[in-house]
């Protein structure tokens, strides 16, 4: 069976791309090649087969429980988890000692500030929910009740 | 992976709940489609291009071609083709460049995650390749996705001082950027025509991204974009402030150099590495012990105590500290001896390059080189005081370098020795 080549221009572009990636890649892998390769491929694998299925499953579970009000929970929860994901080393305190000794700043505020932002996000969402619900009940004719 | 025989999948498919992600109907979100992917793709095309350019500029700002001590990537080869003498004007150049690089990178994280989510069904397309070009394109996607995540993860960890990655940050982030960018350019060129059709035509094309069996929608596509945008906005407003002083810094609630300043008074501004962290022995910096050694033309050497330095003509300059980690201070009022006056003291009336050595025990930049244009700038000082008071130990007492537009680590603290001459 003959494998079709595909668009020759695309092929040329991809070969050029691989050549440059190879040139930089050899240098990227010059030190701890196994560790770097593991991080490079591992990042894609962990994202695609762990992180994404996990948050998709959590979202499905949330939709089942919260029904049509799902956005009032989904938005603050996702934003809070996003902050946790990005600033995990600081929030978890795993770099607290190095951070404090290097910068002279206190590492203690990060978990508290993250919780505070989370509280504000959920609080804001609750306020929007209550306001919209009140408005809806007012606008609806009494007969509907 | 497909676990059972085809019949199992087929049965599951008939029940409306396919178990295998290789079945198109496994992916049920009604949001996925070429329009959403194209919008996110165009945002990333612009954003990542800016990240790449500011990253290359930041690399050039270290003047890696000047001296081996500045160069963390000695085997860069042609990847350093564009290097140039980093200028000293405008004096906030590095502050702006690096503030944009790091703040924009953090702001783009939700867009990147959303983009990867929007195309995940394509990861499981069958057959794996229709042609050689298609097979190569799919292999290139590993470099694209792996590269993007590698760059974002190493960057995000480095700004939080979490050095868990396998090697030194500079070569990993620099070479990783080139691997990623080579795949990024190919991807952008291959997909651009499609994205333009999708955005201009405003009609939904039937691609494998559109679920054949969509679940009832819980949010509109416009709503989903607002959702992603609000994530970016939240990260932006809690990060950008670490490039400003006072109230604005306090808005950077979770960024490493947000919140309160370290201490109060003239020295109460952000510190990259404290004296204790750098291993500075207070005995070595005392008035009696410390002497600055200045070496110049034909080995001409001058040794100066702090009192003698204060007798030389003193000048002021208002310059920021701007770190590769994407935080900076506003202009501080430094006072000290001009570097070019020190060069003249050892026989160089026309300022050459300078090799700076610090008392610090560790740190990749305890020795650093500055180029002649940086030495010649009248604002470049060996600073002895800041904001009207002697330098504090954490800001480099007894003396530190301050150069306009240079990356923070090239403003060497606790200077012990200056060797002028062409490098």
Query: What CATH number has the domain bearing residue B413?
Result: 3.90.420.10
Which residue of A lies nearest to B154 if distances are taken between CA atoms? A39
Mean pLDDT for B174-192 is 97
Examine the domain organization and report whether B215 and B347 are in the same domain: no
Residue B3 pLDDT level (bands cut at 50, 70, 90): very low
Measured between alpha carbons, how far is B142 from B7 in angstroms, rounded to an integer? 31
Q: Cβ(B20)–Cβ(B10) under 8 Å?
A: no
Interface of B with A in 248-277 (CB under 8 A): 253-257, 259-260, 262-263, 270-274, 276-277
**In angstroms, what separates the C-alpha of B212 from chain A's closest C-alpha?**
18
Examine the domain organization and report whether B30 and B169 are in the same domain: yes
A54 found inside a domain: yes
Mutation to test the B interface, candidates A24, A59, A109, most B Cβ within 10 Å: A24
Q: Cβ(B407)–Cβ(B367) under 8 Å?
A: no
Examine the domain organization and report whether B162 and B311 are in the same domain: no
Give chain B positions within 8 Å (CB) of A99.
Answer: 160-161, 256
Mean pLDDT for B180-191 is 96
pLDDT for residue B384 is more than 50:
yes
B59 found inside a domain: yes
The string over A78-101, giving b where at least 16 C-beta atoms fall within 10 Å of a residue's C-beta and e elsewhere, is bbbebbbebbbbbbeeebbebbee
Measured between alpha carbons, how far is B67 from B76 in angstroms, rounded to an integer? 14
Confidence at residue B212, expressed as pLDDT on a 0 to 100 scale = 87
Three-class SS of residue A29?
coil
Confidence at residue B202, expressed as pLDDT on a 0 to 100 scale = 60
Give chain B positions within 8 Å (CB) of A84.
Answer: none
Q: Cβ(B54)–Cβ(B46) under 8 Å?
A: no
Number of domains in chain A: 1
Which structure tokens are listed for B183? 């795949």
Of A6, A31, A116, the CB nearest to B131: A6
B144 found inside a domain: yes
How do residues B201-224 score in pLDDT, each as one tens digit?
A: 766 566 778 888 899 899 999 999
A51 found inside a domain: yes
pLDDT above 90 coverage of chain B, percent = 81
State the DSSP code for B66: T
Measured between alpha carbons, how far is B207 from A101 in angstroms, rounded to an integer? 54
Give chain B positions within 8 Å (CB) of A73.
Answer: none
Give chain A positions within 8 Å (CB) of B167.
Answer: 31-32, 35-36
Examine the domain organization and report whether B108 and B231 are in the same domain: yes
Three-class SS of residue A8?
helix
Cβ <8 Å between B116 and A5: no
Q: Cβ(B324)–Cβ(B72) under 8 Å?
A: no
Residue B235 pLDDT level (bands cut at 50, 70, 90): very high
- Domain of residue B121 covers 23-237
Measured between alpha carbons, how far is B381 from B317 in angstroms, rounded to an integer? 8
Examine the domain organization and report whether B215 and B98 are in the same domain: yes
- Domain of residue A119 covers 31-140
B247 found inside a domain: no
Confidence at residue A143, expressed as pLDDT on a 0 to 100 scale = 59
Boundary residue ending a domain (B237, B269, B299): B237
pLDDT for residue B8 is more than 70:
no
How do residues B11-70 score in pLDDT, each as one tens digit?
A: 444 455 567 888 888 889 999 999 999 999 999 999 999 999 999 999 999 999 999 999
Measured between alpha carbons, how far is A14 from B222 in angstroms, rounded to an integer? 34
Which structure tokens are listed for B136? 């190569």
Contact status of B160 with chain A (Cβ, < 8 Å): yes
Contact status of B192 with chain A (Cβ, < 8 Å): no
Measured between alpha carbons, how far is B215 from B200 in angstroms, rounded to an integer? 27
Measured between alpha carbons, how far is A36 from B165 in angstroms, rounded to an integer? 8
Summary mean pLDDT of chain B: 92
A111 found inside a domain: yes
Q: Cβ(B167)–Cβ(B130) under 8 Å?
A: no
End-to-end CA distance of chain A: 70
Q: Cβ(A48)–Cβ(B120) under 8 Å?
A: yes
Q: Cβ(B56)–Cβ(B174) under 8 Å?
A: no
Examine the domain organization and report whether B150 and B294 are in the same domain: no
A100 found inside a domain: yes
B362 found inside a domain: yes
Give chain A positions within 8 Å (CB) of B153.
Answer: 39, 43
How do residues B246-288 score in pLDDT, each as one tens digit?
A: 899 999 999 999 988 998 889 999 999 999 999 999 999 999 9
Which residue of B lies nearest to A106 if distances are taken between CA atoms? B262
Give chain B positions within 8 Å (CB) of A102.
Answer: 161, 271-274, 277
B199 found inside a domain: yes
Mean pLDDT per 10-residue interval, chain A, length 145 residues: 80 96 97 96 94 95 91 96 98 96 95 97 96 87 57
Measured between alpha carbons, how far is A5 from B321 in angstroms, rounded to an integer? 54
Cβ <8 Å between B120 and A30: no
Which ranges constitute the DSSP H helices of B160-216?
169-201
B252 found inside a domain: no
State the DSSP code for B284: G
Confidence at residue B203, expressed as pLDDT on a 0 to 100 scale = 60
pLDDT above 70 coverage of chain B, percent = 95
Cβ <8 Å between A36 and B167: yes
CA dihedral (B403, B408, B414, B417) in degrees, to 10, reads: -50
Length of chain A: 145
Contact status of B236 with chain A (Cβ, < 8 Å): no
Mutation to test the B interface, candidates A23, A87, A91, most B Cβ within 10 Å: A87
pLDDT for residue B1 is more than 80:
no
B263 found inside a domain: no
Cβ <8 Å between B132 and A6: yes
Measured between alpha carbons, how far is B302 from B419 in angstroms, rounded to an integer? 11
Mutation to test the A interface, candidates B73, B218, B276, most A Cβ within 10 Å: B218
Number of domains in chain B: 2
Which structure tokens are listed for B394? 């954490």
């Amino acid at each position: 069976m003959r494998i079709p080549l595909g668009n020759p221009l695309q092929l040329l572009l991809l070969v050029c791309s691989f050549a440059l990636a190879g040139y930089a890649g050899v240098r990227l892998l010059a030190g701890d090649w196994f560790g770097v390769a593991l991080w490079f491929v591992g990042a894609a694998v962990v994202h695609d087969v762990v992180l994404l299925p996990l948050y998709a499953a959590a979202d499905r579970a949330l939709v089942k429980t919260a029904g049509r009000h799902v956005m009032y929970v989904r938005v603050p929860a996702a934003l809070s988890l996003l902050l946790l994901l990005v600033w995990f080393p600081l929030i978890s305190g795993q770099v607290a000692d190095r951070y404090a000794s290097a910068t002279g700043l206190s590492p203690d505020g990060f978990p508290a500030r993250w919780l505070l932002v989370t509280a504000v996000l959920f609080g804001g969402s609750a306020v929007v929910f209550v306001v919209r619900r009140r408005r809806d009940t007012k606008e609806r004719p009494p007969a509907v009740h | 992976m497909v676990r059972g025989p085809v019949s199992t999948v087929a049965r599951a498919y008939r029940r409306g709940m396919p178990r295998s992600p290789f079945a198109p109907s496994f992916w049920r979100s009604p949001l996925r489609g070429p329009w959403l992917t194209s919008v996110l793709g165009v945002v990333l095309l612009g954003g990542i291009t800016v990240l790449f350019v500011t990253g290359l500029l930041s690399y050039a700002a270290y003047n890696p071609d000047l001296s081996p001590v500045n160069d963390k990537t000695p085997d860069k080869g042609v990847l350093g083709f564009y290097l140039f003498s980093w200028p000293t004007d405008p004096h906030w150049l590095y502050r702006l460049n690096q503030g944009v690089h790091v703040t924009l990178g953090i702001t783009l994280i939700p867009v990147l995650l959303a983009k990867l989510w929007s195309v995940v069904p394509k990861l499981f397309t069958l057959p794996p390749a229709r042609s050689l070009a298609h097979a190569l394109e799919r292999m290139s996607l590993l470099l694209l996705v792996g590269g993007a995540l590698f760059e974002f993860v190493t960057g995000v960890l480095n700004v939080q001082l979490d050095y868990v990655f396998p090697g030194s940050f500079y070569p990993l982030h620099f070479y990783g950027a080139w691997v990623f960018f080579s795949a990024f350019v190919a991807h952008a060129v291959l997909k651009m025509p499609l994205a333009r059709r999708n955005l201009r035509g405003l009609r939904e094309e039937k691609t494998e991204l559109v679920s054949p069996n969509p679940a009832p929608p819980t949010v509109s596509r416009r709503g989903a974009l607002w959702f992603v945008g609000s994530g970016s906005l939240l990260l932006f407003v809690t990060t950008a402030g670490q490039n400003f002083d006072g109230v604005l810094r306090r808005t950077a609630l979770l960024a490493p150099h947000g919140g309160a300043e370290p201490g109060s008074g003239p020295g109460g501004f952000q510190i990259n590495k404290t004296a204790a962290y750098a291993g500075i022995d207070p005995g070595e910096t005392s008035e009696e012990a410390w002497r600055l050694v200045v070496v110049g033309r034909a080995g001409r050497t001058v040794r100066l105590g702090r009192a003698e330095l204060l007798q030389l003509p003193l000048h002021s300059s208002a310059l920021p500290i701007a770190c590769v980690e994407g935080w900076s201070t506003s202009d501080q009022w430094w006072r000290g001896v001009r570097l070019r006056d020190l060069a003249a003291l050892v026989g160089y009336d026309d300022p050459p390059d300078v090799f700076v050595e610090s008392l610090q025990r560790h740190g990749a930049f305890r020795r650093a080189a500055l180029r002649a244009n940086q030495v010649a700038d009248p604002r470049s000082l060996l600073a002895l005081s800041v904001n009207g008071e002697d330098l504090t130990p954490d800001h480099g007492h007894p003396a530190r370098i301050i150069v306009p537009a240079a990356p923070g680590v090239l403003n060497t603290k606790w200077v012990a020795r200056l060797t002028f001459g062409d490098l």
